[in-house]
Amino acid sequence: MKVALFGAGRIGKVHAASIKMDPRSELVAVTDVMAEVAEALAQEHGIAVRTPEEIFADASIDAILIASSTNTHSDLIEAGVKAGKAIFCEKPIDLSLERALQVRQIAASHDKPMMMGFNRRFDPNFAAVKAALDAGEVGKGEMLAVTSYDPAPPPVSYIKVSGGLYRDMMIHDFDMCSFLFGMPVSVMAHGSCLVDPEIGAAGDVDTAVVVLTYADGRIATIRNSRRAPYGYDQRVEVLGSEGTLAAENEVENTVVKSTTAGVQSAKPVYFFLERYMRAYAIEWSAFVDAVVAGAPVPASIQDGVNALALAEAANRSLAEGRPVAITSDLIGG
Amino acid sequence: MKVALFGAGRIGKVHAASIKMDPRSELVAVTDVMAEVAEALAQEHGIAVRTPEEIFADASIDAILIASSTNTHSDLIEAGVKAGKAIFCEKPIDLSLERALQVRQIAASHDKPMMMGFNRRFDPNFAAVKAALDAGEVGKGEMLAVTSYDPAPPPVSYIKVSGGLYRDMMIHDFDMCSFLFGMPVSVMAHGSCLVDPEIGAAGDVDTAVVVLTYADGRIATIRNSRRAPYGYDQRVEVLGSEGTLAAENEVENTVVKSTTAGVQSAKPVYFFLERYMRAYAIEWSAFVDAVVAGAPVPASIQDGVNALALAEAANRSLAEGRPVAITSDLIGG
Amino acid sequence: MKVALFGAGRIGKVHAASIKMDPRSELVAVTDVMAEVAEALAQEHGIAVRTPEEIFADASIDAILIASSTNTHSDLIEAGVKAGKAIFCEKPIDLSLERALQVRQIAASHDKPMMMGFNRRFDPNFAAVKAALDAGEVGKGEMLAVTSYDPAPPPVSYIKVSGGLYRDMMIHDFDMCSFLFGMPVSVMAHGSCLVDPEIGAAGDVDTAVVVLTYADGRIATIRNSRRAPYGYDQRVEVLGSEGTLAAENEVENTVVKSTTAGVQSAKPVYFFLERYMRAYAIEWSAFVDAVVAGAPVPASIQDGVNALALAEAANRSLAEGRPVAITSDLIGG
Amino acid sequence: MKVALFGAGRIGKVHAASIKMDPRSELVAVTDVMAEVAEALAQEHGIAVRTPEEIFADASIDAILIASSTNTHSDLIEAGVKAGKAIFCEKPIDLSLERALQVRQIAASHDKPMMMGFNRRFDPNFAAVKAALDAGEVGKGEMLAVTSYDPAPPPVSYIKVSGGLYRDMMIHDFDMCSFLFGMPVSVMAHGSCLVDPEIGAAGDVDTAVVVLTYADGRIATIRNSRRAPYGYDQRVEVLGSEGTLAAENEVENTVVKSTTAGVQSAKPVYFFLERYMRAYAIEWSAFVDAVVAGAPVPASIQDGVNALALAEAANRSLAEGRPVAITSDLIGG
């Protein structure tokens, strides 16, 4: 399976490594608006830099991996669909829910696998929670709590073009809730600016709580902060009718030091690449499974629409100070 | 310091034991509407059963401890104030916020210590969180999450007279939030009936999430369930600007068993008396400190009013499906 | 059941409290070579100071609790046997194994319960290990590791009269091994002086490892240090044919703090009274069970002889630099 | 840096992957007595199968990696020295200490880096213990305890040619003790056959405890079992004058499940490749550092001799039932 990579930045490099690790997939081309960045990755992998047009025109390329900036995603998906490629696209589809719904429409008739990069679904810890929950190991799910803190906020320049915390950061947690509990019927958002006043000045929040409620009475809570100085804090907890499942943080090492100062253990790993390195590799292999073996796509374009719809609803809820219902038109019928 | 006990039931017995453990206090009388119950406790402690009138009239009695049923609390506080006794009263003051505000008014001029029995403030784990937070060990508090699950629901007959989950169960968690973060400016309640349909039929919820927001942007989340089959799940977690403080459960023992079935450790202690046994003793000593040494009362009647006001707001929020503001008139100006 | 207490020092006070907690036992008399010490305890408990002679002569006294200094234990046991009292005696029987064997002989014909104070058998954690091991939850036991560190060494003046680390400190761990694995066939002792040169100058070690081997091939390891500055480190771990059981330390509280400095949790409780408070109460109730209900004595005088014999063998092993066999004459045939 | 690999079996494959991961090293040739095995690895890596003679004769090959069977190690090292190659060799040098000492002699004049594959030194957990200990974070080291259990015994056919538990399995733990505490002055070995009588029939033990003592009074304890059904149990604990450092197991995931059955977490990873995957990659990079950048070799041939000498002494100690002194002639002067 021959793959072309759109975007040779930080996340593009991660995916290039995953492509290399799966013996069934081969990276054959890369493109990036920044020529040097594309060239560097191409050299490292011994491949060619190509233009998007060349990539779409090359019939020997089976799949495209979209890891370029968010504002290019929807156009590239459309072009990929037209060119008949299997498509793997980083989240989100688009910052505009309306545009995402258009893309979903276009992709509906596509007969090749198309997958959204919700990497956390493939984290072995969260996947184990999902498996145990689905197996009924704690009975029927009742409450879900997702804790998701970044170690430090991104630059304010990034915040300004990010689409805001709910669309940029919490979108992963919305998808985690969908992964574990399905789609909710209402979204209530709270948020404030406690980490950096510049973020507030840019019209965004950096500290946020969202409550999702489900038709059958289940309730999910998401907590986000742009800053947890001790590391990347990523936890999930489910209360079921027969018990609790909790995925705790992965930590730097297993050493415990006991002195008069207390009992000290290692911090959570600091960076998302470190925490989700295994997840990225497993995610890619799942896409290859879909392309070469017809396995079901584990994170569909509808999942991408759903997460975006929840972010949209959260924005509206925060603005209006009341719960917002998730109606079927919001998620495309 | 001589003490008379109102109420010789389960919680009354706990307090009787605490009185005995502190060498500065002496239990001298007990009263209960159920004569045999009063008699049994009196015999065990070698003291006399007395009528409320006799107790209030006895000038040698310094303090009363109100552990009788909720509907008697406000009247007994009033009588205690009139009789010039120091007063320790189990939560809540009353199921009616209006009545609680009256009582607060009456008690305002009382020159003896008056303390509400918010036992969790004295739990060594939660107290350690409070101390570390106040000492700035994790910087300035930003988010608070309280998890509080009972092992199993009480009988529906109890539910019916309890005042509902927010007033009966979550009132402890409202006080925990006040203890750690002070009074919020708004309350948003979610709730559903997932544990027992009979509870729903009685007009109550058994699964609930409440979000409190604070004037300075801080956010607190409370999760309650009437059922966590593995034990009494009582945790608190604070995110501050410099780190996180988390009080985990107390467990039955420290034994870890590793077999092919997994690595197994002990469950949280199952029952609130077991979990909070130490807290009750420390709580009582704090009251004795106030009475005999003039120490400040660590859980005032205003704290009782505040918790009740938050429960009242939660009920209103749930009914109206929107956040409810905490105004100064709600908590007595 | 009426009890007289010999020794009103630190450990005597602990036992006095345990006697008070069990409603079936009543402390009626106390004696101590230091008159003021006896008087203080007597006043606190509202009882009389009596001479040993008065105690032995008083037919209304059912049991004696020997918590006086080690050099008085064997004589008091003998006198108690003659007076027909049930006897609870703190470890060890005597510093001399020969004398302990004599006492065992004398006590053999005693028709009242006689119990040695091996408190750790009653620690809920170690008791849970024992129960799980006996229930076959990890298959057949193969290796045992006991870690037992004091927070800080006692005064050298105490060390000099203590009988040495193996008889004074490790005796508890020898008994723990016997409790879990029975009597070994050989003892190999290692020891050195790393904590305080004064201890070495007094002819003792402060850091020690002993390996016990069993007839069927099982192996136990004991590690002792007189100093673990972070607290009282008391752990037990068993490898069985189907898994591992490990009793971890009890800690001061359950709070976990995560900052840039790391993830910090509470230290083990510092002091043996704190760690074993519950064990002392359970231990006493087990003795009362034996006296009033004929229950089997859970720590017999033979257990006392056995632990002393292992300490004796360890001393010999250390002196001679070779393993010492445990022969039947060493433990009284 | 061009590398030739001797041995294309399980461990050879691991090293081939490590070579590929470090961009500074390139695998150019492989050899194995089993032609198909060599061919398979060669194909996977797109390299040539070569004879040992061709490899030694090829001046463009900078380094050899010896991962063939133990009985070939010493001859290959000698040949590598003669050919002027940098040498990385899996443990042990040889089953014969005498032969190992010869090899050390031969290698002494070698001016290229030569490194022994003691992979555990590079495990991030054990390396963190070493770093903290050397930094004085727990004061001066006093006691060391190494726990090292395999999940299941190898086939008895392997046991028979393995050189026995001390040389085959505990050799890693001897090296861990040397890594952390340096060379001891005496070795006392205990061992028995509890896991599989066939192992005993083959003249070996499967359950073993060894105590090492050091000139300055420090004491180390190693516990080995060929069977811990719950996984690969690999822990290290150091007591220092100011505290304890403990490296705990790495586990399969971070999920905790709480039900009426208890609180269950994941098992240690089952297999050594999984546990030490990162260690192997770090180890290889350390060797590349030595070859290309002149960094010191972190596990020398003397370290290989030392571990073998301790195993030899353990065998003697077990046979003679007494401690065996580590004299300078045992480790080559």
Is A230–C265 a contact, with Cβ atoms under 8 angstroms apart? no
Rounded distance between C-alpha atoms, residue C290 and residue A101, angstroms: 78
Nearest by CB to D264, from B233, B260, B263: name it.
B263
Residues B27, B68: one domain? yes
> How far apart are alpha carbons B24 and B191 in whole angstroms?
45
Cα B296 to Cα B88: distance, rounded to the nearest angstrom = 14
In which domain, by residue range, is C86 found?
Answer: 2-112
Rounded Cα distance, C274 and B124, in Å? 14
| Structure confidence at residue B330 (pLDDT) | 87
Neighbour tally for C60: CB within 10 Å? 7
Query: Does residue A171 register a pLDDT over 90?
Result: yes
d(CA C159, CA C164): 7
What CA–CA distance (Å, rounded) separates D332 from B227? 68
CB A324 within 8 A of CB A313: yes
Q: Which of D260, D267, D276 is nearest to D120 (CA)?
A: D276
Q: Name the pLDDT band for A21 (thresholds 50, 70, 90).
A: confident
Name chain D's partners: 3 or more CB pairs within 8 A.
A, B, C
Is residue B48's pLDDT more than 90?
yes
Question: For testing the chain A interface, which of B137, B142, B218 should be mutated: the one with the most A CBs within 10 Å?
Answer: B142
Distance CA C273, CA B289 (A): 25
Shared-domain flag, residues D66 and D165:
no
Q: Is residue A125 included in any domain, yes or no?
A: yes
Task: Check C264 against A264: CB less than 8 A apart.
Answer: yes
List the structure tokens of A299: 């994170």
- The Cα C301–Cα C91 span in angstroms is 10
Q: Which of 291-310 (D) contact C at CB < 8 A?
A: none
pLDDT of residue D274: 87
Residues 6+ apart with CB under 8 A from C321: D322, D323
Q: C125: which chain B residues are within 8 Å (Cβ-Cβ)? A: 253-255
Q: Say how far apart CA A30 and CA A3 lie, in whole Å.
A: 9
Task: Give me the pLDDT at residue A172, please.
Answer: 97
Q: Is D128 on the interface with A (CB under 8 A)?
A: yes
Touching subunits of C (3+ CB pairs, under 8 Å) are A, B, D
| Terminal Cα distance for chain D, rounded | 34
Residue D273, pLDDT score: 84
Query: Is any Cβ of chain A less than 8 angstroms from the Cβ of B190?
Result: yes
> Best mutation site among D256, D258, D264, D269 for testing chain B: the one with the most B CBs within 10 Å?
D258
Asked if the C-beta of C259 comes within 8 angstroms of chain A's C-beta atoms, the answer is: yes
- Is B247 in Cβ contact with C259 (below 8 Å)? no
Residue whose C-alpha is closest to residue D311's, from D68, D96, D144: D96
**CA nearest B208: which of B228, B193, B187?**
B193
Residues B151-166: what's their mean pLDDT? 96
pLDDT in tens, D5-26: 999 999 999 999 999 989 899 9
Both ends of chain C: CA-CA distance in Å?
34
Average pLDDT along chain D? 96
Encode chain D in three state secondary structure: CEEEEECCCHHHHHHHHHHHHCCCCEEEEEECCCHHHHHHHHHHHCCEECCHHHHHHCCCCCEEEECCCHHHHHHHHHHHHHHCCEEEEECCCCCCHHHHHHHHHHHHCCCCCEEEECHHHHCHHHHHHHHHHHCCECECEEEEEEEEECCCCCCHHHHHHCCCHHHHCCHHHHHHHHHHHCCCCEEEEEEECCCCHHHHHCCCCCEEEEEEECCCCCEEEEEEECCCCCCCEEEEEEEECCEEEEECCCECCCEEEEECCEEEECCECCCHHHHHHHHHHHHHHHHHHHHHHCCCCCCCHHHHHHHHHHHHHHHHHHHHCCCEECCHHHHCC
Contact assignment for A192 to B223 by CB distance below 8 Å: no
Please check whether residue A89 is in contact with residue A54, taking contact to mean a CB–CB distance below 8 angstroms.
no
Q: Are residues A247 and A325 in the same domain?
A: yes
The answer to whether the CB atoms of D263 and B258 lie below 8 A apart is: no
* Cβ separation C265–A260 shorter than 8 A: no
Q: Contacts of residue C208 in chain D, CB cutoff 8 Å?
A: 219
Helices (H), chain B: 10-21, 35-45, 52-57, 70-82, 97-108, 124-134, 156-161, 165-168, 170-181, 197-201, 272-293, 301-320
Mutate to test the interface with A, among C258, C260, C265, C269 (most CBs of A within 10 A): C258
Give the residue from C248, C254, C263 with the most A CB atoms within 10 Å of its CB, the best one to mutate: C263
Q: Are residues C194 and C322 in the same domain?
A: yes
Contact C259 A231 (CB under 8 A): no
- Which ranges of chain C have pLDDT less than 70? none
ipTM for the predicted complex comes to 0.95
**A322 shares its domain with A251:** yes
Q: What is the DSSP letter of C245?
A: E
Per-residue pLDDT, D188: 98
**Residue C151: closest CA among chain A residues belongs to which residue?**
A260
Q: Could you say which of A128, A129, A254 has the minimum Cβ distance to residue D249?
A: A254
Chain A residues whose beta carbon lies within 8 Å of the beta carbon of residue D124: 252-253
> What tokens does D312 get?
């030899």
Residue C136 touches chain B, beta carbons under 8 Å: no
Instruction: Give the HSE-up count for residue D309: Cα atoms under 13 Å, Cβ half-sphere.
Output: 25
Chain A residues in contact with D40 (beta carbon < 8 A): none
Tell whether C103 and C183 lie within a shared domain.
no
Q: How far is D231 from chain C (nearest CA, A)?
A: 9
Q: How far is CA D273 from the centre of its chain?
A: 12
> What separation in angstroms does the CA of B85 have from each of B78, B209, B289, C45, C131?
10, 39, 15, 29, 51
| Yes or no, beta carbons of C225 and D219 under 8 Å apart | no
The amino acid sitting at D136 is: G
Size of interface A-B (CB pairs under 8 A): 101
Beta strands A26-31 and A2-6, pairing class: parallel
Best mutation site among C239, C317, C324 for testing chain D: the one with the most D CBs within 10 Å?
A: C239
Contact D257 A243 (CB under 8 A): yes
pTM: 0.95
Whether pLDDT at A208 is above 80? yes
- Selecting from B192, B211, B243 the residue whose C-beta is nearest the C-beta of A230 gives B243
From chain A, pick out residues whose CB is under 8 angstroms from the CB of B230. Answer: 243-244
pLDDT band at A15 (very low <50, low <70, confident <90, very high): very high
Inter-residue contact C114 to C190 (CB < 8 Å): no
Q: How far apart are CA D241 and CA B280, in angstroms?
A: 38
Instruction: State the pLDDT at residue A330.
Output: 87
The nearest alpha carbon in chain B to A200 belongs to: B217
Q: Which residues of C touch B120 (CB under 8 A)?
A: none
Judge whether A270 and A249 are in contact, CB under 8 Å. no
CB-nearest partner of A243 from B193, B213, B230? B230
Please state, for a pLDDT cut of 90, what percent of chain B lies above it.
Answer: 95
Distances from the Cα of D68 to the Cα of B295, D12, D91, D215, angstroms: 76, 8, 10, 37
Amino acid at D299: A
B327 touches chain D (CB under 8 A): no
Contact state of D259 with A132 under an 8 Å Cβ cutoff = no
C268: contact with A, CB 8 A cutoff: yes
Q: Which residues of C touch B125 (CB under 8 A)?
A: 253-255
Alpha-carbon distances of B30 from A267, B34, C306, D196, rounded to whole Å = 53, 11, 52, 67
Cβ–Cβ below 8 Å for C255 and B245: yes
Q: Are residues A85 and A51 in the same domain?
A: yes
Test A138 with D259 for CB contact under 8 angstroms. yes
Q: Which amino acid is at D326?
A: I
The answer as to whether A295 is a domain residue is no
Domain presence at residue A284: no
DSSP assignment letter at C147: E
Quote the tokens at residue B57. 């009239």
CA atoms within 13 A on the CB side of C24: 13
Per-residue pLDDT for A333 more than 80?
no
The DSSP call for residue B252 is S
Residues D155 and D267 in one domain: yes
pLDDT of residue D2: 98
CB C245 within 8 A of CB C237: yes
Give pLDDT, residue D198.
97
Please tell me if residue D260 touches chain A, with a CB cutoff of 8 Å: yes
In chain A, residues with a C-beta closer than 8 Å to the C-beta of B256 are: none
Q: Which residue of D has its CA nearest to A245?
A: D257
Residue D130 within any structural domain of the chain: yes
Both C325 and C257 in one domain: the answer is: yes
Which residues, 6+ apart, have CB-to-CB distance to D157 below 8 Å? Answer: none
Average pLDDT for residues B176-204, to the nearest whole number?
98
Q: How many Cβ pairs within 8 Å bridge chains A and C?
A: 52
Nearest to C124 by CA among B251, A258, B151: B251
* Residues C213, D229: C-beta atoms closer than 8 Å: no
Partnered with residue D309 across adjacent β-strands are none
A121 three-class SS: helix
CA torsion, points A198, A201, A204, A210, in degrees to nearest 10? 90
Tokens 């006493």 sit on residue: C284
Model pLDDT, residue D145: 98
pLDDT digits over D194-250, tens only? 999 999 999 999 999 999 999 999 999 999 999 999 999 999 999 999 999 999 999
Minimum distance, in Å, between the CA of residue D280 and any CA atom of chain B: 27
Q: Cβ C125–B258 below 8 Å, yes or no? A: no
Same domain (yes/no): A106, A152: no
Helix (H) or strand (E) holding A161: helix A156-161
Tokens, residue C38 = 């006896």
Residue-averaged pLDDT of chain A: 96
Cβ–Cβ < 8 Å for C230, C154:
no
Q: List, for residues B308-324, the tens digit of each pLDDT value.
A: 999 999 999 999 999 99
Does residue D317 belong to any structural domain of this protein?
yes
Q: What is the CATH number for C77?
A: 3.40.50.720
Q: Do both D26 and D81 map to the same domain?
A: yes
Kindly report the nearest CA distance between residue D241 and chain A, in angstroms.
Answer: 10
DSSP H or E segment with residue A40: helix A35-45
* CB-CB under 8 Å, A257 with D248: no
What is the Cα–Cα distance from B38 to D16, expressed in whole angstroms?
Answer: 80
How many domains are there within chain B? Answer: 2
D-chain residues within 8 Å CB-CB of C242?
Answer: 229
- Taking only the tens place, the pLDDT of each residue in D53-96 is 999 999 999 999 999 999 999 999 999 999 999 999 999 999 99
Q: What is the mean pLDDT of residues B18-44?
A: 95
How many residues would you count in chain C? Answer: 333
Is A137 close to D259, i.e. CB distance below 8 A?
yes
- C48, C78, C112 - which closes a domain: C112
Say if A76 falls within a structural domain.
yes
CATH number of the domain residue D171 falls in? 3.30.360.10
- The predicted pLDDT at position B267 comes to 97
Q: Specify whether D94 is located in the same domain as D127.
A: no
* Distance separating alpha carbons of residues D125 and D139, to the nearest angstrom: 19
Answer yes or no: is B280 within a domain. Answer: no
Domain stop point among D59, D93, D112? D112
Is residue B246 within 8 Å of residue B237, measured between CB atoms?
yes
Residue B170 lies in a domain: yes
Cα distances (angstroms) measured from residue B189 to each of B176, C328, D145: 17, 72, 53
End of a domain among A82, A112, A142? A112
